[in-house]
Structure 1
Amino acid sequence: MIAQFLQGLTNCFKIEELRNKILFTLGILAVYRLGCYIPTPGINGVALNEFFARMNDTTGGGNVFSIMNMFSGGALGKLTVFSLGVMPYISSSIIMQLLTAVIPSLEKLSKEGQAGYRKINQFTRYGTVLLALVQSFFIALWLESPSTFGGLQIVNDPGWGFRFTSVITLTAGTVFLMWLGERIQERGVGNGMSLIITAGIISAAPTALHYLNLLLSPKSGASQLQPVALVLMVFFLVAVIISTTMVSQGQRRIPVQYARRMVGTQATGGSSTFIPLKVDTAGIIAIIFAQSVILFPATIASFWPQGPLQHAMTWISRG
């Protein structure tokens, strides 16, 4: 099986057009990962790292912002120019799909072929910029609040200057990621936005393996992970992957029978086929939309360290 996979991978690079698309996609992803290390101006990196270290110790990585950090490929944890990731674009796309189903003018536009698609895509871009502006402004306000960070001063020079710079920087980063994803869609291989999200999540694998090694090494001084717990974790991981794949690929086949008809003196037709209906028609869209809906009130609640909103944020956080 591994030999067949390697043979197929080798064959991909033998075809010039496919090879160029793969190399172009890898180059775009390399640019994305490079941007994840460009910091946002005005941020105290030492204090920011200390805060996230405290947060991981107290919540076990279950905080809402840990989820956002995962989807941004670790960019939010470093407060880089790509901190917002592609989530504003995805949220805008989902909102446009919902509006297309309820607004007659948009529904009519969606049926106008390629021209209508380009117009809806233009509206999606405008929505992306609007969402990025709002989210980046709230992030700037969040960063300026020392009480949110346990008394740590994350911003070197708080004020409207920092807020304006942060809004422009983070919004520009999201727009650039949107452009990179569209370039992959046009000239590369696969769905550009999905590949960017996947690359961000995979980038956290070395850190996860390092922490796993600390949990398994008796010389690390960390609390040890029991062998039974490790086996159960691996078992459930494999089970989740298999079940997710089965649901994603599962389909119900509706049989269709074509009637026989006479053409001249010969009878033709009478064949049977089927209509494949996917079990999970929404795919990942429903999960991403639910994540966006949950994270928005949690982000608002983070501005009030005390009170019912903070309890609500703790309740919807994983872990």
Structure 2
Amino acid sequence: MLTAFFRAFRTPDLRRKLLFTLGIVAVYRFGAHIPLPGVDAKSLSACTSASTKSGTGSQAFGLLNLFSGGALQQLSIFALGITPYITASIILQLLTVVVPRLEALKSDGQAGQTKITQYTRYLTIGLSVLESTMTLTAARNNPGYLLGGKCEGVAVLYPAVTWEGMVVMVVVMTAACSLLMWLGELVTDRGVGNGMSVLMFTSIAAKFPGSVWAIKLSSRTLGGWPAFFGVLALGVLTVAAVVFVEQGQRRIPVQYTKRTVGRRSYGGTSTYIPLKLNQSGVVPVIFASSLLQMPVMLAGLTAGPASTKGWQGWVDRHFSVTVHGYPLTYTLSYLALILGFAFFYMSITFDTVEIADNMKKYSGFIPGIRAGRPTVEYLDYTATRITWPGALYLAVIAAIPMVALDRLHATVAFPFGGTTILIMVGVGLETVKQIESQLQQHNYQGFLR
């Protein structure tokens, strides 16, 4: 990986793209430290520092805080990060299977994809308004729930902030999210890698060193050093395992018969359908986390974490993640949702009927399998078999933080697991592959000259 980056910096084209990408990342991280208007920076800094040291940071808004690189706990202008865009993209992708209009646009090629991208932007704005309103409501009514236990009863917003001021803050957060969306698209067009993925990677990497060191500070055994080195050792093994699985694929051979059209001959080649072991990526983990956070967020916004009666109390006991660990109900629901979403997402992204029709249209077939319905059944059977180990792999990776929290005697979240490690490794691999492909293209051009 490092060799590819060093070689890229020696290539003028790639050097410009890498510097442009790093410049956008610097702008993003700078904006993550600019507080919103109306935020009492002194009170906010005091309570978040105390919450971090005691390991009582926000759990209900943990996914938002992860994708914002810690900007949510600082209530900065980039507090939402790119979470609204990620959510909008996933929603549009799922609706493509259900809504005929979107399905038709998907089949229209580049023009249809441009229209879907436009719809994604509109939905991102709507979700930004909703999420910013929820975040500011929690910051005003229940800051301890949003920022951590040490912030309970602390006014992180100035008392003089009226509803007009809240509207201004919502507008600022929404505009900042739109700016991030634009910056991500700039990186995709003029930089290296997928812009949204790079910004997501930056958010997670920004919190990573602090998360590892916080485990050392919060551990109760021998000053935290055994936990610190244990986390690093387990992290290296986890990264190696994730890279190994993410690169694994089942190659289904496809043979195209030779056919003559006019004076030209086509086909007569052999290829394969690459079916990845983890075809659904990190989407099932994000879906499961988001769904399980929704009841906890609603309970905290309506009654606060201190409520012990009614449905709020039941949700708090069975689904609220605390410094003492993960409730059994939360753990089982989390793993079950990951398994279910893995199969569901595979079924909508790997359309066996469409693949079989395309193969038949261009005189292709799988050796030993008849074209048409038998090909569809074979692809369904193969996809189901390969999805099982992929889904179990996602469940194991997601369960690592739950086990490590108890075994390492730490009171903060384990950084090597779940959404964190899958996104970091996935984005890292894709970015390096893109750099290497551009390096090969440059070398071919130099050879031809």
TM-score by length of 2: 0.61
Partner of 1:72: 68
Kindly, what percent of the aligned residue pairs are identical? 38
Residues 165 and 68 of structure 1: CA distance in aligned 2, closer, same or farther (over 3 Å): same
Q: Deviations over 1:270-319 (max 9, x none)?
A: 76543211111111222223333333333222211114325525624364
Partner of 1:188: 191
Does the Cα contact within 8 Å between 1:71 and 1:85 map onto a contact in 2?
yes
Whole-Å Cα distance in 2 between the matches of residues 261 and 171 of structure 1?
56
Partner of 1:225: 224
Which segment is superposed worse, 287-296 or 154-163? 287-296
Partner of 2:130: 134
Task: Output aligned runs, 1:272-283, within 5 Å.
Answer: 272-283=270-281
Report the alpha carbon displacement of residue 242 of structure 1 after superposing the two structures with TM. 2.1
Q: C-alpha root-mean-square deviation of aligned residues, in Å?
A: 2.9
**1:245 matches 2:243:** yes
Letter in 1 for 2:38: G
Find 2:46's aligned residue among 25, 45, 50. 50
Report the alpha carbon displacement of residue 34 of structure 1 after superposing the two structures with TM. 0.8
Residues 17 and 167 of structure 1: CA distance in aligned 2, closer, same or farther (over 3 Å): same
Whole-Å Cα distance in 2 between the matches of residues 9 and 80 of structure 1?
32
Report the alpha carbon displacement of residue 91 of structure 1 after superposing the two structures with TM. 0.1
Report the alpha carbon displacement of residue 260 of structure 1 after superposing the two structures with TM. 7.8
Letter in 1 for 2:102: L
Task: Output aligned runs, 1:1-319, within 5 Å.
Answer: 6-56=2-52, 59-61=55-57, 63-145=59-141, 148=144, 149-156=151-158, 157-208=160-211, 210-211=213-214, 214=217, 224-225=223-224, 227=226, 229-257=227-255, 272-303=270-301, 304-305=303-304, 306=307, 307=309, 308-309=311-312, 311-313=314-316, 315-317=319-321, 319=325
TM-score by length of 1: 0.84
Does the Cα contact within 8 Å between 1:110 and 1:116 map onto a contact in 2?
yes
Report the alpha carbon displacement of residue 120 of structure 1 after superposing the two structures with TM. 0.6
2:72 is paired with a residue whose SS is helix
Whole-Å Cα distance in 1 between the matches of residues 278 and 176 of structure 2?
32
Does the Cα contact within 8 Å between 2:64 and 2:83 map onto a contact in 1?
no
Q: Deviations over 1:202-237 (max 9, x none)?
A: 122443455466579xxxx9971253x445433322
Q: Deviations over 1:92-146 (max 9, x none)?
A: 0000001111011110011111111111111101100000101111112112215
Residues 243 and 80 of structure 1: CA distance in aligned 2, closer, same or farther (over 3 Å): same
Which segment is superposed worse, 35-44 or 158-167? 158-167
Letter in 2 for 1:76: L
Which segment is superposed worse, 283-292 or 94-103? 283-292
Letter in 2 for 1:201: I
Whole-Å Cα distance in 2 between the matches of residues 271 and 169 of structure 1?
56
Which segment is superposed worse, 238-247 or 46-55? 46-55
1:225 is paired with a residue whose SS is helix
Report the alpha carbon displacement of residue 9 of structure 1 after superposing the two structures with TM. 2.6
Whole-Å Cα distance in 1 between the matches of residues 49 and 222 of structure 2?
17
Whole-Å Cα distance in 2 between the matches of residues 243 and 62 of structure 1?
29
Does the Cα contact within 8 Å between 2:53 and 2:217 map onto a contact in 1?
no
